[in-house]
Chains A and B, each alone.
Chain A
Amino acid sequence: MGFDAQHRQLVIPKNPERRAAFKAGQRAILQSLPGSATWGLVSGVAMVKGGLGVPWAIFMSLTVYAGSAQLAALPLIATGMPIWVIVATGLVTNLRFVIYSAALRPYFVREPLSRRAALGFFMTDFTFTLFMRASQEGWLPERHRDAWFAGVCANNWITWQVSAITGIVAASYVPTDWGLEFTGTLALVALVGPALMARPALVGAMVAGVVALLAHGMPYRLGLFVAAIAGIVAATLADTWGVPRKPRQAEAAP
């Protein structure tokens, strides 16, 4: 089977069983789609009000496809930070996906590389969370899991892109002096806020915030990285010291 046939099979599977799995995946994500649509819309509005032109915002939405990294990059783009600072900030914001990727690997290790890469790129917070819940609660299909997850990711991608582009176009009609660019900052607050319920995250965020203020004058916005690293170290220490060691148990093999 050539790459093209294989690839087409991933997106719209021809085999009836795989097709059924794909459609089951599309149905399984339905409950999460309102959340996805909301974030897409907010990211779209924030991109345009953060200063990106409509074509650039659409290009960013289609290629980057990571709301938090996009929101994090916007203030840095608006204030003309060096390119590497912006890309590195996006990379650090995306680091959680390395954990997701490692968690998903055992499920797809037998799939061809191109399919694993495609499933990886289209994986987001929402689709990963759904996949792991399905696995833990025992309703992940036994066969054609790749087709099932492709269905999950397809619906999530379409929903996010449609709502992001809606937000981009709608925001371009809103006058700049409404101050809507501040929605980008508030969206970041909404991302961070719930995560602070975990005490190590709260410790890390407090350290990162204080260091970010103290180091604000550093050149090339290095203060951002100094602050982030200080926060990560503090959170990791708080996590290691604060929680009683769990007895080592074998990880559940999928």
Chain B
Amino acid sequence: MNAPIEGVALAIVIVGLALSTFVTRTSFLAAGARGRLHPRVETALRYAPVCTLTAIIVPDVLMHAQHADFSLLNPRLAGVIVSGLWLTFSRNIFGCLAVGMAAFSLLRLAQ
């Protein structure tokens, strides 16, 4: 694992992320009077965030020292499962974080 990004590189990352917000949010608003999204493109764009975020979450939760750990004793996996179950009956994010952190912390302390 590499060292965390800091200093000038971190500044570049943050400015780059800010530009990505600006470019996507102003894209069609700033464009001239012409142009509209093709329906297929709009469909693809709609699912882009969910797929990208899932592609970040899954290895982050399961991969441990180059191995996928599907054990329910994996604190991160247990936390995500408990949070996911919470979300099926409540959208309250504080509750979601609380139960997930509780499961995560319990298993981490038990190990």
Contact = CB atoms under 8 A, between A and B. Distances in A.
Given A186-B83, A186-B97, A208 B54 contact: yes
B29 A116 contact: yes
A240 B27 contact: no
- Minimum-distance CB pairs A-B, first 6: A80-B2, A231-B51, A120-B26, A87-B16, A235-B47, A227-B55
A123 B25 contact: yes
Nearest to B1: A79
Contacts of A123: 25
Contacts of B72: none
Given A216-B63, A223-B55, 7 more contacts: A79-B1, A92-B49, A94-B24, A186-B80, A205-B51, A213-B68, A224-B55
B24 A209 contact: no
Interface in A84-143: 86-87, 89-102, 104-105, 108-109, 113, 116-117, 119-121, 123
Contacts, number: 278
B31 interface: yes
Instruction: Determine chain A's interface SS by DSSP, over half rule.
Output: helix
A33 interface: no
Interface in B20-39: 20-31, 33, 36-37
B110 interface: no
Instruction: Determine chain B's interface SS by DSSP, over half rule.
Output: helix
Interface of B: 1-5, 9-10, 12-31, 33, 36-37, 40, 42-63, 66, 68, 76, 79-80, 83-84, 87-88, 91, 93-94, 96-97, 100-101, 104-105, 108
A33 B109 CA distance: 36
Interface in A26-66: 38-39, 42, 51-52, 56, 59-60, 63-66
Given A96-B45, A116-B26, A205 B50 contact: yes
A200 B42 CA distance: 14
A86 to B, nearest CB: 5
B37 A69 contact: no
B16 A193 contact: no
Contact of A96 (B49, B54, B56): B49
Contacts of B13: 73, 77, 83, 86-87
Nearest to B21: A66
A89 B52 contact: yes
A68 B20 CA distance: 12
Given A38-B94, A93-B49, A120-B26, A190 B83 contact: yes
Given A69-B21, A216-B59, A92 B48 contact: yes
A80 B4 contact: yes
A237 to B, nearest CB: 10
A99 B50 contact: no
A232 to B, nearest CB: 5
A188 interface: yes
Nearest to B16: A87
A10 interface: no
A239 B39 CA distance: 11
A75 B4 contact: no
Contacts of B23: 91
Nearest to B22: A121
Interface stretch (A16-24, A155-163, A177-185): A177-185
